[in-house]
Structure 1
Amino acid sequence: MKSDRKIQLYSSEFYAACTLGGIVACGPTHSAVTPLDLVKCRLQVDPTLYRSNLDGWKTIVRREGLAKVFTGFGATAIGYSLQGAGKYGGYEFFKHLYSHSVVSAETAARHSTLVYLAASATAEFIADVMLCPFEAIKVRQQTSMPPYCSNVFQGVSKLFATEGLAGFYKGIVPLWCRQIPYTMTKFTAFEKIVQAIYARLPARKSEMSPLQQISVSFAGGYLAGILCAVVSQPADVMVSKINSERKQGESMAEASRRIYKRIGFSGLWNGLLVRIVMIGTLTSFQWLTYDSFKVKVGLPTTG
């Protein structure tokens, strides 16, 4: 149900609501697909490990127990909640900043795609700084046999003790390479797809009910998610492999060259179909959750 209380657009309360909406949208959705992510990450590191997703889950349950299909759940929940806060709240902030303070509103309207791209890239750059330590722990948990640690707090302690602060951020560059194009595609494609959907509907957006608007957000989110999965797949594979295989004292560039020489171009696409299903579903439910939250607190849906 839509709130009767109005929040002033672009106020501190507005950005706080969008930030909270990002946490609600990203933390639970990413955590829910941990079993898919676990099999995907392990197949990226070793394509021969399982014959399929189902085989992967059955093997994990048989060898490690049912609870182990959620390996990395804690790090995922914390990391992507923080990332969601920075991504969604930051996007709303930078979109308004770039379209009103950096350039004129008229220029922004003519070049809206550039505004969406710049705002989403800036927001994701900052959000990844918060995500990276927990992504490093998650990947180690999911790709190590036996798991690197039993929970996220043990992982933080162990990683800091063995590698120091640098250990939390040695994957930051490949993470940016994965997440920034992903988020630029996610937000820009979503905005454009939603605009195209509204343009073809018989009623104006302002005349549609909140439920109808949220349905448009869900459809636009799924289509945008498919594009996101394809764009960010190669970097996603490299993030998994660098976090699990990077040697002590080896630079990110050296590790990337060594790993790419071994796996080749085709190896960058291991797990793509799984990722399309995972990211398409994830993205659609994130937009569904985010815009539902915005409606609940009395804000308009995105797009």
Structure 2
Amino acid sequence: MSDSVKTRPFTIPQFSATDYSSFFLAGALCCTISHGGMTPIDVVKTRIQIDPKYKPFGFVSGTRYLHSQRRPFSLANRGYEYWKKYFVTIAGDQETAVKYRTAIYLGSATVAEFFADILLTPLEATRIRLVSERGYATGLVSGFTRLAREGGVAQLYAGFLPILCKQIPYAIGQFTVNEWAHEVVFRNMSEETKKSLSDVSKFGISLGSGIIAGFAAAILSHPADTLLSQINKGHGPTGSMVYRLTTLAREAGFKGLFAGLGPRMIMTAGLVSSQFLMYGAIKDALGAPPGLEIHKE
């Protein structure tokens, strides 16, 4: 290993089924809590994307308009650790893992998100239909049932391609940028400083890294998020999904594809930062081991 690449020695942890269950439970709990708190912002963002009446509004004015028209209603992914460990194992040794850490981050986020999206797509289609059509159903379960009954599997998975285009860049921004933000911070600290970090300092680093990752996730995934909202609303021509997406993108233009980005950046920064903070806290409470780190020192 060259002198310019210094790494902290690590061993690949042998996570048990209980450990992965703790990771899953921590991820599920933090996502449920954080998404629930951000639902009002998501409602406004989606309305700006798909409702012409909302085009002139920003987040604050859009929120006021939404409240004047209707009462917002509440709507009630973590294989990343598994796939990161899997790809580190394939790398074979520490030097190789650190050298190709970006590829490992990208690959882990992409594969984990792909499998998660198989389950997510029908729920996302239901959520957008609930947000975009007032009175469509009384909740997520009844909305899902109606959509499945009326449109079948084809309608539930109509947004699978655009949701992949949305969620994979989102996951890349969320996980990869968060890893890099932590690495940049710790690379500029001495070992003594790292060992003496207070809980407040650790919290600040996690919060700041999460906010930066949230901004990146929002920006990278927003064009596909806009198209997904349009597809699930039934907009666009008939034909293949690729044709519909390219037509909608051309009609929307650059400005249209990024409509609602401001509120979504606020929402996503809050979601991602809170999820990482809660994920760590819940894992600690459950006694789960720390995740695998392959940062370059």
TM-score normalised by L of structure 1: 0.84
Q: 1:20 to 1:61 in 2, by over 3 A?
A: same
Question: Following superposition of structure 1 onto structure 2, how do residues 224-263 of structure 1 map, counting pairs within 5 Å?
Answer: 224-246=213-235, 250-263=239-252
Bigger relative contact order, structure 1 or 2 (CA pairs below 8 A, ≥6 apart): 2
What residue number does 1:69 align with?
A: 72
What residue number does 1:106 align with?
A: 95
Q: Distance in 2 between matches of 1:9 and 1:47?
A: 53
Map Cα deviations across residues 215-271 of structure 1 (whole Å, 9 max, x no partner): 322111111111111111111111111111247964312321332232222210101
Q: Does 1:175 align with 2:181?
A: no
Return 5+ residue gaps in structure 1 as ranges.
Answer: 1-7, 78-83
Shift of 1:201: 3.0
Match of 2:15 among 2, 7, 10: 10
The alignment-based identity, stated in percent, is 31
- Runs of 4+ in structure 1 over 6 Å off: none
What residue number does 1:153 align with?
A: 141
TM-score normalised by L of structure 2: 0.86
SS of the residue aligned with 1:260?
helix
Q: 1:249 to 1:262 in 2, by over 3 A?
A: closer
For the 8 Å contact 1:213–1:301, the answer to whether it is kept is: no
Match of 1:136 among 118, 125, 138: 125
Q: Distance in 2 between matches of 1:201 and 1:44?
A: 43
Match for 1:183: what amino acid? Answer: A
For the 8 Å contact 2:48–2:62, the answer to whether it is kept is: no
20-29 vs 199-208, greater mean Cα deviation: 199-208
Q: Distance in 1 between matches of 2:135 and 2:59?
A: 19
Q: Distance in 2 between matches of 1:178 and 1:291?
A: 25
For the 8 Å contact 2:162–2:228, the answer to whether it is kept is: yes
Q: 1:302 to 1:42 in 2, by over 3 A?
A: farther
What residue number does 2:3 align with?
A: none
Q: Distance in 2 between matches of 1:44 and 1:53?
A: 12
Shift of 1:47: 4.8
Q: Distance in 1 between matches of 2:282 and 2:14?
A: 15
Q: Which has the higher helix share?
A: 1
Q: Distance in 2 between matches of 1:9 and 1:159?
A: 42
Match of 2:24 among 19, 22, 28: 19
Q: 1:248 to 1:153 in 2, by over 3 A?
A: farther
What residue number does 1:292 align with?
A: 281
Return 5+ residue gaps in structure 2 as ranges.
Answer: 1-12
Map Cα deviations across residues 178-197 of structure 1 (whole Å, 9 max, x no partner): 11011012111111110111
Map Cα deviations across residues 136-195 of structure 1 (whole Å, 9 max, x no partner): 011111112x34222112212211111112211110110010110110121111111101
For the 8 Å contact 1:220–1:284, the answer to whether it is kept is: yes
45-54 vs 176-185, greater mean Cα deviation: 45-54
SS of the residue aligned with 1:69?
coil
What residue number does 1:32 align with?
A: 37
For the 8 Å contact 2:173–2:217, the answer to whether it is kept is: yes
Match of 1:56 among 62, 71, 76: 62
Q: Distance in 2 between matches of 1:63 and 1:48?
A: 11
Shift of 1:40: 0.5
Match for 2:72: what amino acid? Answer: V
Shift of 1:300: 2.9
Shift of 1:292: 1.4
Q: Distance in 1 between matches of 2:50 and 2:69?
A: 19
For the 8 Å contact 1:120–1:184, the answer to whether it is kept is: yes
